[in-house]
């Protein structure tokens, strides 16, 4: 009997592969970073070929580390950075241009033009999303307009579009399958949220040929098999979900009202709202949470913080404050507070609830006494403040208080940050024993489809808390700090106009 699920976790800064056993424990993990390219201010690009190479390498490495034959793998699961857009040649499999990353803001002016035409409400009504450069549609349109011959070839079906899940599946199946799942499709601005299908009116608005789009399949279900030449045998690909939806599934957020926050490159909060999409009145977005086989789609409210863990990377890579990301906690603990320093890490604009592409990063409150530790602490606080704002908006939309916040992602291992989050949000923060919940959620989706696990009840029984961070800050202090944060954000907004 197969003993493992192999989860491929294709993130914004690295590709990872994890082997999970039936208890949901990690049997092996391999990771490889890849290049981040910033050709112009506001532009962020990836080399899709490098991503595929890295993802394939870590998949093989994870199997080798565990000493596992591929025949012991019941299924492969895929979870991925969402919205990042790659176009490739159907016949050669070669990308026609660098992939445009979800953080990229080059299409902000095009979005403003569409807003000026009054199309925002129509797009939001169909997709649950905001008309924003964050999503895939204007990225596809930009590539079709700027790569010679691309639009004409796309209309003939010779150029294909995919988010990273589609790109990986295409390569894993050696071009046999051009497919995406419900969650990734719901992030493109091209998919009707209720029907779960591509929408002709949206395709017309963004001038995108239907022939280049992948077919949409459930998040849990077999979408194809790997080519035998890759691993020595064909393995079913049975679970696919965007990283944040996968994390919510891995956190067992199966009940309406349950909320998780993933602290990765960005910070992404999802609240399960059940089987009916709930429009946001507080500048959040509505998204597909997952679709299990033929069961109805489940939906979520989402708030996206564009820069979370990436601020720690910036302190490491651009500022040389630390040599590794794990050092940030010790540095921030050298001081009792930020010394009046406020850090708004709006490097690529601000996400929810502001949706301001023209905001830019800002440090304010600096004095002669400010040192590296104050700035490090202010950076961690900024992650917590941004997430708290989103949590407040969610509670308003859901018309119910948030009872707890389940957390995952690399920065969730930072005890200082988690206590800050509990204090600033005013809710218990629960860190699971297994913080690899993005990959685990995808593994659960594949495991349900392959019979490795039998039900969501069985999956929920595998989830357990490792530590609960209770809020200790009083309401007056919390209110004062949130007001100061709002003042700082106000100074950073619209800076690039």
List residues forming the annotated binding site for ADP: 12, 16, 265, 309, 410, 414
- CA-based end-to-end distance of the chain: 60
Two structure tokens written together for 52: 């595929």
Q: Residues annotated as binding site for glycerol?
A: 82-83, 134, 243-244
How many beta carbons lie within 10 A of that of residue 491, not counting itself? Answer: 13
- What distances in angstroms separate CA 138 from CA 67, 207, 410, one per listed residue? 44, 9, 30
Give the residue from 173, 174, 184, 187 showing the smallest Cα distance to 223.
Answer: 173
Q: Residues annotated as binding site for ATP?
A: 12-14, 265, 309, 313, 410
**b/e code 437-468 from CB counts within 10 Å (16+ = b):** bbbbbbbbbbbbbbebbeeeeebeebbeeeee
Strand partners, 239: 77, 220
Judge contact between 354 and 385, C-beta under 8 A: no
**b/e code 407-420 from CB counts within 10 Å (16+ = b):** bbbbbbbbebbbbb
Judge contact between 298 and 340, C-beta under 8 A: no
Q: Residues annotated as binding site?
A: 12-14, 16, 82-83, 134, 243-244, 265, 309, 313, 410, 414
Q: Residues annotated as binding site for sn-glycerol 3-phosphate?
A: 12, 82-83, 134, 243
**b/e code 313-322 from CB counts within 10 Å (16+ = b):** bbbbeeeebb
- Local structure of 184: helix, strand or coil: helix
Q: How far is CA 36 from the centre of its chain?
A: 16
Two structure tokens written together for 215: 């077919």
């Amino acid at each position: 009997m197969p003993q493992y699920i192999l989860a491929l976790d294709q993130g914004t800064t690295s590709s990872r592969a994890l082997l999970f056993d039936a208890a949901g424990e990690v049997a092996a993990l391999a990771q490889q970073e890849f290049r981040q390219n910033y050709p112009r201010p506001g532009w962020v690009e990836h080399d899709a070929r490098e991503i595929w190479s890295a993802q394939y390498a870590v998949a093989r490495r994870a199997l080798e580390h565990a000493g596992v034959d591929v025949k012991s793998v019941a299924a492969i699961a895929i979870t991925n950075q969402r919205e990042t857009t790659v176009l490739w040649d159907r016949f050669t499999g070669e990308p026609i241009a660098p992939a445009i990353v979800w953080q990229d803001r080059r299409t902000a002016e095009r979005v403003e033009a569409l807003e000026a035409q009054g199309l925002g409400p129509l797009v939001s009504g169909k997709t649950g999303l905001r008309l924003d450069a964050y999503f895939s549609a204007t990225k596809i349109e930009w590539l079709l307009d700027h790569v010679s011959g691309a639009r004409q070839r796309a209309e003939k079906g010779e150029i294909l579009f995919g988010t990273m899940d589609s790109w990986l599946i295409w390569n894993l199946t050696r071009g046999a399958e051009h497919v995406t799942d419900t969650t990734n499709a719901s992030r493109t601005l091209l998919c009707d949220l209720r029907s779960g299908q591509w929408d002709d009116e949206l395709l017309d608005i963004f001038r995108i040929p239907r022939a280049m789009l992948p077919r949409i399949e459930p998040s849990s279900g077999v979408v194809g098999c790997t080519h035998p030449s890759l691993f020595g045998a064909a393995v079913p690909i049975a679970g696919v979900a965007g990283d944040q939806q996968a994390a919510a599934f891995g956190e067992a957020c199966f009940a309406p009202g349950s909320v998780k926050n993933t602290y990765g490159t960005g910070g992404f909060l999802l609240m399960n709202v059940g089987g009916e999409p709930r429009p946001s009145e507080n500048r959040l977005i509505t998204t597909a949470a997952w679709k299990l086989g033929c069961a109805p789609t489940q939906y979520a409210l989402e708030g996206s913080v564009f820069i979370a863990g990436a601020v720690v990377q910036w302190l490491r890579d651009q500022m040389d404050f630390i040599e590794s990301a794990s050092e940030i906690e010790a540095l921030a603990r050298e001081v009792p507070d930020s010394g009046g320093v406020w850090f708004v890490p709006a490097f690529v604009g601000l996400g929810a609830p502001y949706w301001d592409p023209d905001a830019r990063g800002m440090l304010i409150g600096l004095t002669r006494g400010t040192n590296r530790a104050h700035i490090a602490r202010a950076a961690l606080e900024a992650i917590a403040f941004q997430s708290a704002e989103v949590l407040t908006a969610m509670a308003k939309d859901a018309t119910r208080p948030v009872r707890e916040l389940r957390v995952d992602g690399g920065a969730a291992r930072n005890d200082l940050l988690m206590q800050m989050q509990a204090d600033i949000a005013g809710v218990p923060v629960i860190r699971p024993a297994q913080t690899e919940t993005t990959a685990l959620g995808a593994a659960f989706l594949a495991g349900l489809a392959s019979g490795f696990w039998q039900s969501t009840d069985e999956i929920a029984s595998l989830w357990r808390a490792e530590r609960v961070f209770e809020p200790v800050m009083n309401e007056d202090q919390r209110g004062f700090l949130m007001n100061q944060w709002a003042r700082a954000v106000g100074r950073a907004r619209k800076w690039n106009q």
